[in-house]
């Protein structure tokens, strides 16, 4: 609280050394908490702050649990372009929920070369 060492070492904070004993320090008893604005304690020992933090942690935990449930219900779909990927699929394995979708590979069509047409086109250009 910004007091010199001679002040806070000159007296005991509690009636006995037990942590549950009542506070007897006049400086702490006159202190106003910065969190709840009630006299008699500091922000580090504020009961309202501890309850609020616990409620916020519980809410965060519940939100995470809801997200996990949503993720479990909708398993991701694996997309693969490898046609042999279906051979690696272990249907009696641990990951039975996964669905494999194998997309067919489309090869570009090759243009057939007709050598006779090429020979005719060369002879046509030479004659002109």
Domain-embedded: residue 117: no
Inside any domain, residue 42: yes
Residue 38 domain-assigned?
yes
pLDDT of residue 74: 59
Res 128: pLDDT: 46
- Report the distance separating Cα 65 and Cα 71, nearest Å: 10
Cα distance between residue 118 and residue 37, in whole Å: 95
The answer for residues whose C-beta is within 8 angstroms of residue 53's C-beta and 6 or more apart is none
What is the domain range of residue 27? 1-46
pLDDT at 117: 64
Domain assignment present for 101 = yes
Q: Which residues of the chain have pLDDT under 70?
A: 68-78, 86, 88-105, 107, 110-128
Q: How many domains does the chain have?
A: 2
- Whether residue 8 is contained in a domain is answered as yes
pLDDT computed for residue 82 by the predictor: 74
Distance CA 24, CA 46 (A): 17
Does residue 122 form part of some domain?
no
How many Å is the Cα radius of gyration of the chain?
39
pLDDT on residue 72? 59
With contact defined as beta carbons under 8 Å apart, do 40 and 29 qualify? yes
């Amino acid at each position: 609280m910004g007091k010199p060492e001679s002040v806070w070492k000159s007296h005991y904070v509690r009636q006995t050394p037990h942590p549950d004993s009542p506070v007897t320090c006049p400086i702490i008893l006159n202190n106003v908490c910065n969190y709840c604005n009630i006299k008699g304690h500091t922000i580090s020992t504020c009961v309202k702050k501890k309850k609020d933090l616990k409620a916020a942690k519980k809410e965060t935990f519940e939100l995470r649990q809801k997200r996990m449930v949503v993720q479990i219900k909708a398993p991701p779909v694996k997309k693969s372009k490898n046609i042999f990927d279906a051979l690696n699929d272990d249907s009696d394995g641990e990951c039975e929920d996964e669905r494999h979708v194998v997309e067919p590979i489309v090869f570009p069509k090759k243009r057939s070369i007709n050598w006779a047409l090429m020979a005719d086109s060369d002879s046509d250009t030479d004659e002109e």
